[in-house]
Chains A and B, each alone.
Chain A
Amino acid sequence: MTSMLQVVEGAIGDDDRRAASAALLEDFDSVVLQHQQRIHRVLLGMLRDSDAAQTLTQECFLRAYESRGRYRGEASVSTWLIRIAINLAHDYHRNRRLGFWRRLFAGDNDVGEMAARLPSDAATPEQDLLAKEKLAAVWSAVERLAPQQRAVFVLRFVEQLSLEEIAAATNLKLGTVKAHLFRALGTVRKRMKEWQVSP
């Protein structure tokens, strides 16, 4: 018998997945429980704003709930939810009026907070500080990426999705996903070199 976890992880056949996913969506609470962390992480990586990520995670599940009748099981539940989350993040970025106020009040607090959360296995406080500065450099590079590139980057390096899964979640071709990843890595590497020259 098809288990709920199998459906969520997409580890079953197409027919089973369609039938079981439709049934699974009836029990939406399990979907929320299963995917809330991942969706929140994706949005956190894309927005660099904890409050906005929480709000959009809520919005993502709300939209999924409202449109669950239209879900056909062509992609896994996870891919479907990530797609909704990415669209929400893009809409959020497009909103220029909000962007002005966000930039005005946000500052770099979230980067600092996230840097502080870095698991510290450094031997000395100097090494710890260095690691946090390096992380801040990566964040600043990620922020320079275009929204589409950022989405691809986050899905790959935060969620460890395969290139095919990223292509399905972003509605991009495999070659385009690769190109975005290469450009994103190039930007991060460049920023890292700048940081090494003048940390």
Chain B
Amino acid sequence: MKEHLSEQQLNDWILGQAGSDAIGHMETCANCRREAEELKGALDGFQASIHGAAEGYRLIWHPPAQRERPVWSRVMTQRWAYAVALGAIFVMSVVLLRFDHRQRPHPVAHAIGESEILMQIQADVSDYVPSALEPGELLLAAGEQPPPTAPPGRKTPKSTRR
């Protein structure tokens, strides 16, 4: 008994690409012929249903009104325009990043600045002379010159005695 057609041979037959062996077999084998025709009939029905459904279809076609496209739209349809735009964005990003980098103080420099200020405050605090001692301070600043002696019989002010 002859073997039946393989799935591939049946597919080839459906697609109209079967070899002479398969065509010859199909003429003699009722089983293969029935199977192939069953499938072919179903496919024909599928085709007929779509053709039937689309038969009365008629597209109502109105071409869209011609509009003058804006310049940027016309330019941006060109590929080179995209390349130029990307390049410009890149350059701008680099420039902005560098500018921002210069404006922002360096964190280490910032720390040094703070410590210097603190030291300055500390020095100012330690150099603070109470108002009562200011005359003496002035004297020291003026050099080692002795202060003019007060005329005899004159009392020293109370504040200096305190």
CB within 8 Å of B: which residues of A?
28-29, 32, 36-37, 40-41, 44-45, 50, 54, 57-58, 61-62, 65-66, 113-115, 117-119, 131, 134-135, 137-139, 142, 154, 156-158, 160, 163, 181-182, 185-186, 188-189, 192
Contact = CB atoms under 8 A, between A and B. Distances in A.
27 contacts: A28-B63, A36-B57, A36-B59, A37-B57, A41-B51, A58-B59, A58-B61, A61-B59, A66-B64, A114-B50, A115-B49, A117-B48, A117-B53, A119-B52, A131-B45, A135-B42, A138-B42, A138-B45, A138-B46, A142-B46, A154-B50, A157-B46, A157-B47, A185-B11, A185-B14, A185-B39, A189-B10
Interface residues of B, number: 28
A11 B69 CA distance: 36
Given A29-B61, A135-B49, A138-B45, 17 more contacts: A32-B59, A36-B58, A41-B51, A58-B61, A65-B64, A118-B45, A118-B49, A119-B48, A135-B42, A154-B50, A156-B15, A158-B46, A158-B47, A186-B7, A189-B10, A192-B38, A192-B39
B124 to A, nearest CB: 70
Contacts of B52: 114, 117-119
Contacts of A57: 57, 59
Given A192-B39, A192-B42, A54 B53 contact: no
Contacts of B84: none
Contacts of B42: 134-135, 137-138, 188, 192
A188 B57 CA distance: 28
B48 A44 contact: no
A158 B59 contact: no
B45 A134 contact: yes
A40 B63 CA distance: 18
Interface of B: 7-8, 10-11, 14-15, 38-39, 41-43, 45-55, 57-59, 61, 63-64
Contacts of B55: 37
Contact of A62 (B45, B49, B57, B64): B64
Given A138-B43, A156-B15, A41 B50 contact: yes
A143 to B, nearest CB: 12
Given A28-B63, A36-B57, A36-B58, A188 B51 contact: no
Nearest to A45: B50
B8 A188 contact: no
B53 A135 contact: no
Most chain-A Cβ atoms within 10 A of its Cβ — which of B43, B47, B54, B58? B54
A3 to B, nearest CB: 22
A154 B43 CA distance: 10
Contact of B54 (A41, A138, A142, A157): A41
Contacts of A40: 54, 57, 59
Contacts of A50: 53
Given A36-B59, A62-B64, A44 B15 contact: no
